[in-house]
């Protein structure tokens, strides 16, 4: 008896046209994430700006599914690391994966994967909202933990710099990503 995503994929190969469609969606989410990173609001009390990235990270997971969603975010990190100015404030390079925002950035592929996995293939509001909320909290928690380590902050100060300033905006982005994901549907 075969179960699981990998065994189903192995028994049902993708056609060229389906693979091309998925490639377009993966590329579109990679580009959308890069563009959304440029929508940046710096905050004076933290080295982490407010951006729209998490909206597209979570949406990618729901729309593309766990594997393709995580892959699109992996591409985003890869092209930024290779020097394309796709990180917040047109940043690029490996320094961004070791700086103040590294925890948030490195959480993008796992968060997209988690959102897609928890949302399930047959998207329903009762699953999509919790999936995106939990995945968004993963990004905030990873970013906050990294800030604590990098800056030597205690948990309270780390949360004040890396979690609480972003929670309201992330809840709004979560609701918007969930609704748009339900409208678009699963593509991956």
Sequence spans of domains, the chain: 17-184
* pLDDT tens-digit map of 57-80: 999 999 999 999 999 999 999 999
* pLDDT tens-digit map of 80-131: 999 999 999 999 999 999 999 999 999 999 999 999 999 999 999 999 999 9
Q: What is the pLDDT of residue 14?
A: 82
Query: Any idea which fold 17-184 has?
Result: Arp2/3 complex 21 kDa subunit ARPC3 (1.10.1760)
The answer to whether 185 touches 63, Cβ cutoff 8 Å, is yes
* pLDDT tens-digit map of 126-141: 999 999 999 999 999 9
Distances (CA, A) of 76 to 49, 65, 150: 18, 16, 23
- CA-nearest of 110, 106, 128 to 118 is 128
Q: What is the pLDDT of residue 188?
A: 84
Q: What token pair was written down for 52?
A: 């729209």
Distances (CA, A) of 168 to 25, 58, 107, 142, 173: 28, 16, 19, 17, 9
- CA-nearest of 187, 185, 169 to 54 is 169
Average pLDDT, the chain: 93
Q: Is the pLDDT of residue 2 over 50?
A: no
The answer to whether 148 touches 158, Cβ cutoff 8 Å, is yes
pTM (predicted TM-score): 0.92
Q: Is the pLDDT of residue 8 over 60?
A: no
């Amino acid at each position: 008896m075969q179960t699981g995503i990998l065994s189903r994929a192995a028994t049902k190969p993708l056609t060229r046209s389906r693979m091309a469609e998925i490639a377009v969606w993966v590329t579109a989410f990679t580009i959308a994430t890069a563009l959304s990173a440029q929508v940046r609001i710096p905050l004076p009390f933290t080295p982490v700006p407010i951006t729209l990235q998490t909206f597209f990270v979570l949406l990618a997971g729901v729309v593309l599914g766990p594997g393709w969603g995580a892959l699109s975010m992996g591409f985003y990190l890869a092209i930024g690391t290779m020097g394309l100015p796709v990180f917040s404030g047109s940043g690029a390079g490996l320094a961004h994966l070791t700086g103040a925002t590294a925890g948030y950035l490195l959480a993008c592929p796992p968060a997209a994967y988690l959102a897609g996995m928890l949302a399930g293939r047959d998207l329903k509001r009762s699953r999509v909202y919790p999936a995106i909320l939990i995945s968004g909290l993963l990004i905030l928690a990873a970013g906050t933990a990294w800030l604590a380590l990098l800056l030597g902050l205690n948990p309270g100060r780390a949360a004040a710099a890396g979690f609480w300033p972003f929670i309201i905006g992330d809840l709004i982005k979560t609701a918007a990503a969930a609704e748009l994901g339900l409208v678009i549907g699963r593509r991956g």
